[in-house]
């Protein structure tokens, strides 16, 4: 791998040593790509050297520039504007770079598990009482893309899902089914299991609200009515039976959860995400109590007169936090303490990343602080990848108000729109229904995935269904289109019996512009991995695609008569295609060979 940046960096060190007899701090040497409007390829900022050279920026720049031209093999010439030393790399070295790409099997990414670092990424983590919605979509896409990104940086990654399969919420669905839906199954109703169970959850809520209203109408205060409604009492009763392993409740629970799982499985498959291991809360919710016990013995935690257990975090600017209820049962935090400890014991990973919405920022802040106070040395390796809410033009999504966007509906609608759009443009005329289906599916999913992944995770984002379906501009389909065009060129080239070989023709400015974007790929992957930001990849691949489209319009490829130039352009297109595909795959997005 040719790295101009490193070469220039080292040469600059030598220059300063020779010219000013000074050893320079590494981070004082700033090398960046030269901006479009100036001549040159890389730019050294000379301001930081002025204290050493004791000369003005122009003189200092000139001295360093002269040194580099004489002593650094790859540099052809330089110019100085203000305090910026712009260096031009000899064209033949750019050519070498391009030629080297075909022999590097994994340009931009690190070989699998080469870093020796192991990550566990927990994402998705749904409840089993209702289908997945738009918020889960952002979670799933981020979690999956993040895992790919870590792998591309050479880390080992274990993807896990913690399914919240127990609790009062699922009892509500179960109860509603018992009362108003006995006998109805996904098969009999033709409904996806998770949707069916979700319907009963909604039904419960509806009837529950009716009961509350009846009670408040008869003069009972709202708060009391919410607790005394017969339905909620029955649901709580059912939860107790579940915890007592009541046979009837357990088998109902197993059946209905089974429906939900097959529904989820379906949605995950459509979204193209997967897991290496699935945890069920019903099997982990008792974990953590032993840890709390130990914490009590150590004096890190304390017990109140009513027997509830707490930790005082006020010294760290947080509050007091409950870890065990007065009746001895555990809370969410307790479980998370237990599961984290269990996972580190079992997998010995270096980091555990939770992909969870930003409404739980406080929870994870507390989690790692508690772990630290309890003396676990891996506490600092618990990371929370926090993402913002997805808002709709009409406001926030609220399941109660029916303003949620269902994940399955959304996927179907994106694919349908892709289909309509493609037909209208006459893009699919020559394909079989099977091929059409496959292509249209890829396009619809790309539109959805890219729309969500291009936004910085930590920001709240606005999801406008209309705009998300737009396939022009900065969208997934546009990037796919660029790729499909490249493939089209190759099909034509092979019909013409044109083989791509190493290039010998010196690239002009137009080819160089594209080549420079390609050059950046490895550093983008590394930065994105460091910052846990799939969005950095998304924005890069858009830039590359856009650059290619301009190139495509400005530079004839197959029609170019000069054989060397034609080969160079083909070669460039080939590498561009590879990187687009690789980038999109990191995001979990497929690219079609034609569209």
Partner RNA sequence: GGUUCCGUAGCUCAGUUGGAUAGAGCAACAGCCUUCUAAGCUGUGGGUCGCGCGUUCGAAUCGCGCCGGAAUCACCA
126-185: which residues touch RNA (CB under 7 A)? Answer: 127, 164, 167-168
Judged by CB under 7 A, the stretch of 12-20, 215-223, 224-232, 448-456 that binds RNA is: 448-456
**Neighbour tally for 346: CB within 10 Å:** 11
Integer Cα distance of 215 and 228 in angstroms: 9
Using CB atoms within 10 Å of the CB of residue 382, give its burial: 0 to 12 exposed, 13 to 18 middle, 19+ buried. buried
User: Kind and range of the H or E element at 331?
Assistant: none
Whose CA is closest to 86, among 104, 113, 99, 68? 68
Judged by CB under 7 A, the stretch of 89-97, 192-200, 477-485, 499-507 that binds RNA is: 477-485
Judged by CB under 7 A, the stretch of 116-124, 212-220, 269-277, 356-364 that binds RNA is: 356-364
The correct pick among 478, 577, 584, 590 for binding RNA (CB under 7 A) is 478
The correct pick among 23, 237, 319, 562 for binding RNA (CB under 7 A) is 319
Task: Confirm or reject binding of residue 13 to RNA (CB under 7 A).
Answer: no
Q: Which is nearer to RNA, 206 or 423 (CB)?
A: 423
Residues 515-534 that bind RNA (CB under 7 A): 527, 531, 533
Whose CA is closest to 535, among 146, 173, 171? 146
- Shortest spacing between CB 189 and RNA, in angstroms: 27
- Shortest spacing between CB 184 and RNA, in angstroms: 26
Task: Confirm or reject binding of residue 389 to RNA (CB under 7 A).
Answer: yes
The correct pick among 152, 337, 352, 489 for binding RNA (CB under 7 A) is 489
Task: Confirm or reject binding of residue 56 to RNA (CB under 7 A).
Answer: no
Task: Confirm or reject binding of residue 358 to RNA (CB under 7 A).
Answer: yes
- Shortest spacing between CB 77 and RNA, in angstroms: 14
Helix, strand, coil % in the chain, rounded to nearest 5: 60, 10, 30
Residues 75-134 that bind RNA (CB under 7 A): 81-84, 86, 127
Residues 396-435 that bind RNA (CB under 7 A): 396, 418, 421-422, 425, 427
Judged by CB under 7 A, the stretch of 16-24, 64-72, 150-158, 545-553 that binds RNA is: 545-553
Integer Cα distance of 75 and 515 in angstroms: 17
Q: Which is nearer to RNA, 187 or 359 (CB)?
A: 359
Two tokens, residue 53: 């050279």
- Shortest spacing between CB 525 and RNA, in angstroms: 13
- Shortest spacing between CB 348 and RNA, in angstroms: 26
Judged by CB under 7 A, the stretch of 210-218, 321-329, 368-376, 510-518 that binds RNA is: 321-329
Q: Which is nearer to RNA, 113 or 459 (CB)?
A: 459
Integer Cα distance of 398 and 133 in angstroms: 11
Residues 34-53 that bind RNA (CB under 7 A): 34-35, 37-38, 43, 45, 47-48
Binding mask 270-309 for RNA (x = CB under 7 A): -----------x----------------------x-x-x-
Phi then psi for residue 43, to 5 deg, are -125, 130
Task: Confirm or reject binding of residue 312 to RNA (CB under 7 A).
Answer: no
Judged by CB under 7 A, the stretch of 203-211, 215-223, 248-256, 546-554 that binds RNA is: 546-554
The correct pick among 230, 258, 375, 556 for binding RNA (CB under 7 A) is 556
**Neighbour tally for 417: CB within 10 Å:** 19
* Rg of the chain, C-alpha, whole Å: 30
Judged by CB under 7 A, the stretch of 26-34, 139-147, 267-275, 342-350 that binds RNA is: 26-34
- Shortest spacing between CB 266 and RNA, in angstroms: 22
Whose CA is closest to 235, among 259, 267, 200? 200
Residues 324-343 that bind RNA (CB under 7 A): 325-327, 331-332
**# residues contacting RNA (CB under 7 A):** 94
Give 551-557 contacts, CB < 8 A, sequence gap 24+.
Answer: 551/510, 551/511, 551/513, 551/514, 552/485, 554/510, 555/510, 555/511, 557/489
Whose CA is closest to 538, among 576, 575, 592, 585? 585
Q: How far apart are the first and last CA of the chain?
A: 33
Integer Cα distance of 144 and 135 in angstroms: 14
- Shortest spacing between CB 510 and RNA, in angstroms: 11
Task: Confirm or reject binding of residue 254 to RNA (CB under 7 A).
Answer: no
Q: CA dist 549 to 479, 556, 570, Å? A: 10, 12, 14
- Shortest spacing between CB 400 and RNA, in angstroms: 14
Q: Which is nearer to RNA, 97 or 478 (CB)?
A: 478
Task: Confirm or reject binding of residue 261 to RNA (CB under 7 A).
Answer: no
The correct pick among 301, 557, 584, 591 for binding RNA (CB under 7 A) is 557
Show Cβ contacts of residue 90 under 8 Å, excluding neighbours closer than 6 positions: 74, 75, 76
Task: Confirm or reject binding of residue 253 to RNA (CB under 7 A).
Answer: no
Integer Cα distance of 46 and 507 in angstroms: 29
Angle, nearest 10°, between helix axes 407-425 and 134-152? 80
Residue 594 and residue 445 in contact, taking contact as beta carbons nearer than 8 Å: no
């Amino acid at each position: 791998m040719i790295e101009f940046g490193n070469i220039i960096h080292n040469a600059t060190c030598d220059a300063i040593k020779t010219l000013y007899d000074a050893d320079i701090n590494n981070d004082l040497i700033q090398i960046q790509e030269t901006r479009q409007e100036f001549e040159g390829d890389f730019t050294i900022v000379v301001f930081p050297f002025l204290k050493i050279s004791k000369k003005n920026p122009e003189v200092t720049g000139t001295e360093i520039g002269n040194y580099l031209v004489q002593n650094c093999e790859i540099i052809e010439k330089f110019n100085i504007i203000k305090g910026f030393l712009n260096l031009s790399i000899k064209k033949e070295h750019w050519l070498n770079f391009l030629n080297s790409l075909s022999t590097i099997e994994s340009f931009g990414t690190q070989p699998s598990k080469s870093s020796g670092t192991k990550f566990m990424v927990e994402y998705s983590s749904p409840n089993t009482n209702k289908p997945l919605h738009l918020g889960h979509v952002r979670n799933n896409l981020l979690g999956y893309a993040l895992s790919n990104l870590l792998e591309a940086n050479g880390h080992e990654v274990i993807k896990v899902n913690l399914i919240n399969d127990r609790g009062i919420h699922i009892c509500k669905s179960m109860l509603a089914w018992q009362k108003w839906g006995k006998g109805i199954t996904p098969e009999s109703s033709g409904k996806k299991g998770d949707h069916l169970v979700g319907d009963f959850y909604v039904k419960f809520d509806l009837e529950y609200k009716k009961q509350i209203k009846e009670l408040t109408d008869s003069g009972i205060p709202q708060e009391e009515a919410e607790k005394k409604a017969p339905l909620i009492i029955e649901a709580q009763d059912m939860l107790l039976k579940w915890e007592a392993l009541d046979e009837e409740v357990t088998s109902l629970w197993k059946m209905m959860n089974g429906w939900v799982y097959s529904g989820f499985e379906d949605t995950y498959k459509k979204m193209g995400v997967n897991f290496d291991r699935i945890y069920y809360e019903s099997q982990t919710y008792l974990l953590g109590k032993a840890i709390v016990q130990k914490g009590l013995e150590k004096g890190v935690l304390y017990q109140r007169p009513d027997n509830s257990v707490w930790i005082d975090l006020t010294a760290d600017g947080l509050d007091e936090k409950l870890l065990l209820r007065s009746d001895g049962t555990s809370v969410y935090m307790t479980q998370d303490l237990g599961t984290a400890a269990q996972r580190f014991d079992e997998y010995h990973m270096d980091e555990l990343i939770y992909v969870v919405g930003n409404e739980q920022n406080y929870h994870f802040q507390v989690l790692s602080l508690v772990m630290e106070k309890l003396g676990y040395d891996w506490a600092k390796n618990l990371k929370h990848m926090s993402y913002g809410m997805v808002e709709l033009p009409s406001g926030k999504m609220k399941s109660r108000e029916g303003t949620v966007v269902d994940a399955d509906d959304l996927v179907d609608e994106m694919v349908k729109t892709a289909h309509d759009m493609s037909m209208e443009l006459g893009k699919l005329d020559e394909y079989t229904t099977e091929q059409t289906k496959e292509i249209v599916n890829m396009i619809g999913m790309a539109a959805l995935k890219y729309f969500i992944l291009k936004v910085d995770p930590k920001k709240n984002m606005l999801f406008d269904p209309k705009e998300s379906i737009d396939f022009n501009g900065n969208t997934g389909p546009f990037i796919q289109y660029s790729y499909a065009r490249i493939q089209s060129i190759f099909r034509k080239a092979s019909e013409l019996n044109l083989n791509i070989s190493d290039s010998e023709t010196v690239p002009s400015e137009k080819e160089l512009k594209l080549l420079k974007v390609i050059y950046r790929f490895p550093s983008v992957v590394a930065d994105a991995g460091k910052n846990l930001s799939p969005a950095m990849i998304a924005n890069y691949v858009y830039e590359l695609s856009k650059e290619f489209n301009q190139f495509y319009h400005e530079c004839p490829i197959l029609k170019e008569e000069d054989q060397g130039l034609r080969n160079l352009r083909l070669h460039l297109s080939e590498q561009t295609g590879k990187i687009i595909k690789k980038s999109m795959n990191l995001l979990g997005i497929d690219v079609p060979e034609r569209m």
